[in-house]
Amino acid sequence: MAKEIVVSGVRPTGELHLGNYLGAIKQFVELQDKYKTFFFIADLHAITEPQDPKKLGRQILEVAALYLACGLDPKKTTLFIQSQISEHLELSHILGTLTPVGELNRMTQYKEKIQEGQPANFGLFAYPVLMAADILVYNADAVPVGEDQRQHLEFARTIARKFNSRYGKMFREPKALTQKTGARLMGLDDPSKKMSKSAKSPDNYIGLLDNSDEIRRKIRVAVTDSGREIKYDSDRKPAISNLLSIYSLIANFPIPELEKKYKDRGYAEFKKDLGEVLVQKLSSIQKQYRALAKNQQKIKKILEDGAKEARKTAGKTMSEVRRKIGFLG
C-alpha cells in the first residue's frame, strides 16, 4: 500500500529558531519515516517582503543545511527549493481563477502582516493561493500546520473542492497534522505573542545557531508568571506553561512528569535545567550544521536531486490538470 503524502515548507528569512524546530522541523523528521514527504524551502513566499538577493541565496543554503542537521534524510524525504519547480506557479494561477477576491480579503494573516508594516503587495495578498498550489501540486493527503496556518489549509481544501466540482475529481482535500503541544510556541519575552524571527527583541526567541552562553542567558531572562508554582495552565500561567512546553518537546519528557519533578522547586532551578537541556540538544544540531556548511556543493546536489524528484510528481499532476481544464498538450 502506497504511503500517504505530506507536504510542507519554511521560508528562508531571518534565522531559524526554536519555534521553527519544535513546531515544524522536529515533526518533519518524525514524519519522513511514516509518509512520503516533500519538504521545501519557500523562497517564493519569502519575496512577498523585500529581500537582499545575495543574503537570500545564503539563507536558502543555511536553511537546507539546518534541515539536514536536524535530521532530515535525503534518502527518506524529498528536499528542494520551491522556485525551482515551475508547476507551483502554474497551478497557483489556475487556482487563482477559482478564488473570489472577497475570500482573500478575509484572510486573518494578511491583515496581521499589513498591521505589522509589511507592504500590501499582490504576492502577500495571494499568498494563500500559492500555498494551496504548493500542497495540491503533490496531491498531499496531509499538511503539518500550526494554529496560525489552519485558515490557509482550510482555503486549500475549499479550492480543491471547487476545482473538483468544476473539472472533475482531481485533488484530495488535505487534512491537518498538528501537535497537541508546541504547535505554536510563544515568545520568551512576551507569552501573549508567537515566537517569531521577525520579533523586535532578540530575547523573543532562541536561534538554532545561538551559542551556549546566549541560550542560557535567554532562558534565564525569559519572563515568568507571579508565584513560584511550576504548573501548566495556559490561561493563568502562560509564561511558565510556554517554558514547560519547550522543555517537554526538547527532552521528550511529559509535562505532568515535569510538574512532579519541579514541585516545590523554584523558577530559577527549573530555568537553569531547561537551559542545559537546550544547550545539549542545540549543540548537537550545530555540530552537524557546521560540518554540512563546509560543503555547499553537497547541499546544492541534494537540493538538485530533490528538485528532480519533486518535478516528477508535480509534472504528472499538472499534465492531468491541463487536460481537465482543456489546455492542449
Q: Which residues are catalytic?
A: 113, 194, 197
| 8 A C-beta contact, residue 231 and residue 267 | no
Per-residue cell: 133: 498550489
CA 263 vs CA 84, 223, 258, 269: distances in Å: 52, 19, 8, 11
Instruction: Name residues whose C-beta falls within 8 Å of residue 38's C-beta, 6 or more positions apart in sequence.
Output: 5, 6, 7, 8, 77, 78, 80, 138, 140, 310, 313
Residue type, 208: L
Instruction: Name residues whose C-beta falls within 8 Å of residue 302's C-beta, 6 or more positions apart in sequence.
Output: 64, 68, 74, 79
Name the H helices within the chain. 18-20, 26-31, 43-46, 53-70, 87-96, 101-105, 108-115, 122-125, 127-136, 150-167, 212-220, 238-251, 255-261, 267-293, 296-325
| Side-chain half-sphere CA neighbours of 60 within 13 A | 25
